[in-house]
Amino acid sequence: MSGPDPAQIDAFAQALRRSERVLFVTGAGISADSGLPTYRGIGGLYERDVTDDGVPIEVALSGEMLERDPTLCWKHIHQIESACRGAQPNVAHRVIAALERTHETWVLTQNVDGLHRAAGSQQLIEIHGNVHRLACTRCGHRTRVDDYAALAIPPMCPDCGALVRPEVVLFGEMLPLPAVTMLGRELERGFDLVVSIGTTSTFPYIAGPVLQARARRRATIEINPGESEISELVDLRIRSGAASTLAAVWAALGSGPLP
Just list the catalytic residues.
Answer: 128
CA dihedral 139, 143, 145, 149 (to 10 degrees): -30
Q: Which residues of 111-148 are buried (b: 16+ CB within 10 A; e: fewer)?
A: bbbbbbbbbebeebbbbbbbbbbbbbbeeeeeeebeeb
In this structure, the strands spanning 164-168 and 129-136 are antiparallel
β-bridge mates for residue 56, sequence order: 50
Query: In whole angstroms, what is the distance from residue 41 CA to residue 127 CA?
Result: 15
Query: In whole angstroms, what is the distance from residue 9 CA to residue 250 CA?
Result: 9
Q: Are 108 and 212 in contact (CB under 8 A)?
A: no
β-bridge mates for residue 107, sequence order: 24, 124
Q: Are 71 and 19 in contact (CB under 8 A)?
A: no
Return the SS3 of 206. helix
